[in-house]
Chain A
Amino acid sequence: MTAPILPNSFTTGPDERGHFGIYGGRYVAETLMPLILELQAAYEAAKADPAFAAELSNLSNHYAGRPSKLYFAEGLTRHLGGARIFFKREDLNHTGSHKINNCLGQILLARRMGKTRIIAETGAGQHGVASATVSARFGFPCVVYMGATDVERQKPNVFRMKLLGAEVKPVTAGNATLKDAMNEALRDWVTNVEDTYYLIGTAAGPHPYPEMVRDFQSVIGKEARAQMLEQEGRLPDLVIAAVGGGSNAIGIFHPFLDDASVEIVGVEAGGHGLDGDEHCASMNAGRPGVLHGNRTYLLQDADGQILEGHSVSAGLDYPGVGPEHSWLRDTGRVTYVPILDDEALDAFQVCTRTEGIIPALESAHAIAEAIKRAPTMAPDKIIVVNLSGRGDKDIHTVGKLTGLDI
């Protein structure tokens, strides 16, 4: 592949057709094209409307609990020795992860567009819970598609969604994980085009979703940057986030992209290792292709059939990645590394024991990278880790894998 031309700024994308370099775009069936164009127009109008921003900001503060804290993880720092580690505490948001940031933005947009029914896909169930939550708050019926495998391994979240009044539809196609849930949600959407709003949970899908989800999640990075300047009087040296579809990662990365002194690292699910097929490291072990409405790095076989990945963390168990990450990878601005299941499980326990914070298994991948790097860095260096969610949902998985009896 030819090297992309380096831009003056890394924050100007996408272009009007939704491209980040060669990535992104709108590869959808004709039935959906008019809807996606309508969505884009509605989003542009909402962006230009101060009342929309005001309502979102009000809900973010009083309903979701923003701003989330930037917390100096002293226990973990002392345990590791080396760079100081800060956590951006998205785990403290209402519903327990960053997913609520995006859901609040999109539910306001759905209401503005006059839609009356919400559908969503979910992997770990965090986005499903956040979707069910905002649907309850705004009085929409909500259907959540979830792979049957994930229904099994994320039971607490399935129960939460049901309590919130959502209908959870298990999807048995394929490996019955996030990719299959997304296929099924798209099938619902083409069938119910008139009344239905598809609330995509990550910075992927056809344009304008990657841009829109990024914008709603960028509150993470904007806050973190300002908090760091206020608390420490300077920018961090390194920002780390886990990458599933890439929404928490792009949310914290984006406001730092043009800060040349800040190194940025995205962590992919390395599963059982990149040698075999049991991982979800699309940018380290995949190649560009087209799936779910956009061009991006994908796990695929020689024939262009999409492979089912594997991760101990349901939220990272997706064979693709948001298109902006693919572009950031190719430009070299962001480095993407894999973290294995075992490393994430270790980090989960280290964080729990040294900080008294139970992180989501997704977030534990980011912590694992910080655990690797902090000891190699001087004590005056600063690492910010996006603690994208809390780990209550994962205690059964961790219990099973570590032989703990719950």
Chain B
Amino acid sequence: MTETRIDRRFAAVKAEGRPAFVTFLTAGDPDPATTLALLAALPRAGADIIELGMPFSDPMADGPAVQAAGLRALRGGMTLNKTLDLVREFRKTDDVTPIVLMGYYNPIYSHGSEAFVVDAKAAGVDGLIIVDLPPEADDELCLPALKAGLNFIRLATPTTDDKRLPAVLTNTSGFVYYVSINGITGSAAPDTSRVAEAVDRIKRHTRLPVAVGFGVRTAEQAAAIGAKADGVVVGSAIVQAVADSLDAEGRATAATVPAVEALVGALAVSVRGARRPVAA
């Protein structure tokens, strides 16, 4: 497979001796224009990679914050095609920041897997994370995605033992996303010492970068995880910042983009500084 923006970005941050900062946002929350403005703001604030959530009516692995964001987007009329439109728009002004679409299989299945991977690639998508497609179902979307030149990023979890890891890592590309807790997005805080162990364990099985997420919300957590992992993922905290900035009718306000930019900017500082020795 040819090099993707994701591969290039991880190589670049590695050369800088720091972890990548991966940020999550739900497409169309609360409306496409706001998402587009947020997408432009994220790299400016220090995000290295953007995960763009594809809203789904039944997000079984998501906690309250991401669930609510998906609902806001769906109520605003968001669809899979409109998510691809957003990526296409974003690419007109940013051709380097990697975009990973994250979501559930049914809207893609409904669109048609083969057509979807072609459409996503053409729109400027770099990778996919599909929560409910385990390696046992690789022929459905993973293999077509790889063939189309998209990375297929798999989740590894605390329940993924050494026996199962090789199966999870086969056909995984771009990076491995280690889910630091058993649970849904944005729930318990990860135990950073156990995260370090898990990252080491995964790295014994793969040369891919390992990014860690689910439950990371503070600058301290981001720094602690960034000391060990190749990437730190923050999702629910950003989505919550969007929610907190909306007016009573759930519409975006003048505060929406600045609120997210400020949060991401602060987190980016700690992620970037994660490997720097603490000054005495």
Given contacts A291-B106, A300-B106, whether A187 and B58 have CB atoms under 8 Å apart is no
For the complex, give the distance between the alpha carbons of A191 and B61 in Å.
10
Task: Find A183's partner among B60, B157, B161, B187 (CB 8 Å cutoff).
Answer: B60
For B106, B108, B183, the residue with the greatest tally of chain A CB atoms inside 10 Å of its CB is: B106
10 contacts between A and B (CB under 8 A): A26-B137, A27-B134, A30-B134, A31-B182, A34-B159, A183-B60, A187-B61, A187-B183, A291-B58, A300-B106
B155 contacts partner chain A, Cβ-Cβ < 8 Å: yes
- Chain A: interface residue count, which band? 35 or more
Is A179 in the interface zone, CB < 8 Å from B? yes
Q: C-beta contact mask, A288-308 vs B, less than 8 Å → 1, else 0?
A: 011111010010101111110
In this complex, what residue of A is CB-closest to B188? Answer: A191
Nearest CB in chain A to that of B67: its residue: A173
Closest residue to A28 on the B side, CB-wise?
Answer: B132
B60, A29: Cβ atoms closer than 8 Å: yes
Residues of B with C-beta under 8 A to A29 = 60-61, 131-132, 134, 155, 157
Identify which of B58, B157, B182 contacts A179 (C-beta below 8 A). B58
Of all chain B residues, the one with the shortest Cβ separation from A34 is B159
Interface majority SS (helix, strand, loop, mixed), chain B? loop
Residue ranges of B at the interface with A (Cβ–Cβ < 8 Å): 56-61, 63, 67, 74, 79-81, 104-111, 131-134, 136-137, 154-161, 164, 168, 179, 182-184, 187
Inside 8 A of B154's CB, which chain A residues have their CB? 30
- Would you give the shortest CB distance from B232 to chain A, in whole angstroms? 19
Residue of B whose beta carbon sits closest to that of A25: B137
Q: Residue A108 at the B interface, CB < 8 A?
A: no
Chain A at the B interface: SS class:
mixed
Smallest CB-CB A-B distances: 6 pairs: A304-B110, A304-B107, A191-B183, A31-B157, A305-B57, A303-B79
* Per-residue contact bits, chain A 15-59, to B (CB 8 Å; 1 contact, 0 not): 001000000011111111111000000000000000000000000
Residue A186, interface by CB 8 Å? yes
Chain B residues whose CB sits within 8 angstroms of the CB of A34 once the complex forms: 159-161, 164
Given A28-B132, A191-B184, A304-B107, list of 7 further CB < 8 A pairs?
A25-B136, A29-B132, A34-B160, A187-B63, A193-B182, A303-B107, A304-B110
Give Cα distance in the complex from A73 to B97, angstroms: 70
| A190 contacts the other chain (CB 8 A) | yes
- Residues in B with CB closer than 8 Å to A81 are none
Question: Which of A183, A186, A292, A304 is the most central at the interface, judged by chain B CB atoms within 10 Å of its CB?
Answer: A304
Collect the chain A residues with CB atoms within 8 Å of residue B61's CB.
Answer: 29, 31, 187, 190
Contact A306 B57 (CB under 8 A): yes
Q: Establish whether residues A303 and B80, one from each chain, have CB atoms under 8 Å apart when the complex forms.
A: yes
**A356 within 8 Å of B (CB atoms):** no
Cβ of A75 under 8 Å from chain B: no
Report chain B residues within 8 Å CB of A290.
Answer: 104-106, 109, 132
Closest chain A CB from B82 CB (angstroms) = 9
Query: What is the bound-complex CA distance between A291 and B131, given in angstroms?
Result: 12
List the A side residues contacting B60 at CB < 8 Å: 29, 183, 186-187, 190, 292
The reply to whether the CB of A4 lies closer than 8 angstroms to some CB of chain B is: no
Instruction: Choose one: B63, B80, B109, B164; the contact of A33 (CB below 8 Å).
Output: B164
**Residue A174 at the chain B interface, CB threshold 8 Å:** yes
